[in-house]
Structure 1
Amino acid sequence: MFGFIEIRHNGRLCTDIQINIENEADNYFLSTEDVIRLMTNGGKEKVLNNSFSNISIKTLEKRVKEGNAFVEKCQIARNLKGVLFVDVTLKRPIARFIRKSKADVYVDNNGVVLNVLRKFTARVLLVTQSERTAPLDFKRNKQDKELLEMIRYIYQDPFLKAQIAQVDVLKNQDMILYLQLGKQVVDFGNLNQWKSKLDRFKVFYKEILPRKGWNAYRKISLRFDKQIICE
């Protein structure tokens, strides 16, 4: 009986393709048209109005996942009416790295490096490394791994994400933070005790600035343990 049902099912035509792209509302690295193009191998192979006996769902999933670096997962299913359901999950960039003499790249939550596309610019934290020439390595380079942890922490904290616009990593690995609002520059020091420094940054923004005024200081230093130095 199952064999008979499978034969009838495979003989049906694909009558419709319904595509759902998770994160598409604020992550336009992949469109519905892009998914169709990947599924059809650039328009060379017919899917819509084609018999399911000629369609391999595993092949379609593989094309979508491997055809675009921003695709994290692709799952395809069909129903008895011949409708093909395509669910795509995109990787979400959390920072954009800008380096001298190198193309800009995005980095996602897992440290995957993604090329910047012209079609869409993600509004994420900027990380500038003007003096760096070595490639990013978030798996084996201890400094890169620690920096990714800090970037991930900023991204997941609504307050920090809204306040910090750019992290400038200097040649000696010290960092300068530039803010979304205000003219203050934050002397962050190196990555040592970065979480404690970010906690002190919150104290400065929530308790000191409201009392002293938003333009009272031009520079804030967090590099020294348990201290907030305002100039």
Structure 2
Amino acid sequence: MKKVLTYTKFIGLIGLIIFLFAFTGNRNEKRKIKEVEIEFVEEQNLYINELTVNKLLIQNQVGVTDVGKEILVLNIVEKGLDTHKMIEDSDVYLTVNGQLKARIKQRTPVARVNAVVPFYVDVTGNTMPLSDNYSAHVPLVNNVSEREVSEVFPLLRKIQEDEFLKKHIISVYRNVNGHYELGLRVYGFEVVFGKIEFLDSKVRNFKAFYQKALKDKSLEKYKKVSLQFRNQVVCTIK
């Protein structure tokens, strides 16, 4: 009899624990989302602000705040954010106390194209619109259409990844022959890069020329520096 009583108490305790877990879970599911926190990651400048993100979080004119957690589908919220052309990736999740958090990774521009409707080119080679919040300090590309972005992108990416080029190159121009010319931040000579080929060799030659001319204090003497030929640098004196 004593064993039966102990067994009955044990079963009752298990039932009580299950009930409490179910009650707590149901109560947690019905809790309203009262706060939204937006965090921008891996970016130093905001091309998209919190107000814009909050607007993207609105579905059918109903905000995500004060919405029961059981009816909020997070992957749909993320997909809505990821459709914005300034956002590369988003991560939306709920905390145990009912706070909605959105972690936003912005796209990173590497160049600005001066077109009828100007636009950026990002690190993946895709286009993105200009921002009303911040203007990126990237090279200005002229005489390049959107369909020609894929052609010039390897050069733009090279400039973005190379600290020397990133420091000195401020513009890229595509001439009528389809060859590219580079504008420098300080010195006024024209750098004729030529076609988008042999990038490493041309950059290496240009660096060697620059360092030697800087040492010789002759950079001001040149009118044009051509890198069109893979294994040499051809200079024109003023």
Corresponding residue number in structure 2 for 1:59: 76
**Identity of aligned pairs, percent?**
25
- Rate the CA distance shift 1:137–1:183 in 2: closer, same or farther, 3 A: closer
- 2:192 is equivalent to residue 187 of structure 1: yes
Task: Decide whether the 8 Å contact of 2:81 with 2:87 is kept in 1.
Answer: yes
Tell me what 1:40 maps to: 58
Contact 1:24/1:30 (8 A) holds in 2: no
* TM-score normalised to structure 1 length: 0.83
Q: 1:91 maps to what in 2?
A: 107
Q: Which of 147, 171, 179 matches 1:135?
A: 147
Asked whether the 8 Å contact 2:39–2:103 carries over to 1, the reply is yes
Residues 222, 229 of structure 1: 8 Å contact kept: yes
Change (3 A) 1:111 1:4: farther
Structure whose CA Rg is larger? 2
TM-score (norm 2): 0.81
Which has more helix, going by share of residues? 2
Q: Is the 8 A contact 1:15 1:81 kept in 2?
A: no
CA distance, structure 2, for counterparts of residue 156 and residue 63 of structure 1: 31
Cα distance, 1:6 vs. partner? 4.2
Compared CA separation, residues 192 and 58, structure 1 to 2 (3 A): closer
Q: Once the two structures are superposed, what CA deviation does each residue of 1:35-89 show, in whole Å capped at 9, x if it has no partner?
A: 11110248x21322432134222222122112x2111111111121112111111
Cα distance in structure 1, aligned partners of 2:67 and 2:198: 59
The list of structure 1 runs, each at least 4 consecutive aligned residues, that deviate by more than 6 angstroms after superposition, is: none
Query: Secondary structure at 1:76's aligned position in 2?
Result: strand
**RMSD of equivalent CA atoms:** 2.3
Give the match for residue 10 of structure 1.
Answer: 29
Determine the structure 1 residue equivalent to 2:6.
Answer: none
Structure 2: runs of 5+ lacking an equivalent: 1-17
2:125 is the counterpart of 1:111: yes
